[in-house]
Amino acid sequence: MTGSRVRRFAEVRLGDVIDGGPVGEGAWEEVARRLVVRWSGSNEAGVTRVEMTNAVPPRDIAGRIFARHLGDSRCVDVEVIGRDRGLICAKAMVRVALA
């Protein structure tokens, strides 16, 4: 746990935006995972897909709820997008279990 309360599955809707701001240090996969961990309050987050679309590293990061997994898992998939000067440089899909 990250110290904050764990976000509840019932509070999350498809398309909800996760504002990330400037990209921190580290590999793209870990930067994307950390954004989702910070937002969700849960360490149960794992990267399921990564795509680098440009040789330029992203400067800004944001996410959106891409999928809600119905059933007992209470997982959501977050599409994390990295941009540089408005152009998409990287994408990642991060799955996280919510309360």
Condensed to tens digits (0 to 9), the pLDDT of residues 17-63 reads 999 998 988 899 999 999 999 999 999 999 999 999 877 889 999 99
Q: Distances from the Cα of 37 to the Cαs of 9, 15, 27, 54, in angstroms?
A: 14, 18, 15, 25
Q: Which residue has the tokens 């990209």?
A: 23
Nearest to 83 by CA among 92, 96, 71: 92
Distance CA 99, CA 80 (A): 21
DSSP states of 33-46 = HHHHHHHHS-S-EE
Tokens describing residue 90: 């990287």
* The pLDDT of residue 4: 64
How crowded is the C-beta side of 18, counted as CA atoms within 13 Å? Answer: 29
Q: Are 77 and 95 in contact (CB under 8 A)?
A: yes
Domain ranges for the chain, please list them: 9-97
The CATH code that applies to domain 9-97 is 3.10.129
The one-character DSSP state at 87 is E
Nearest to 29 by CA among 52, 53, 54: 52
pTM over 0.85, yes/no = yes
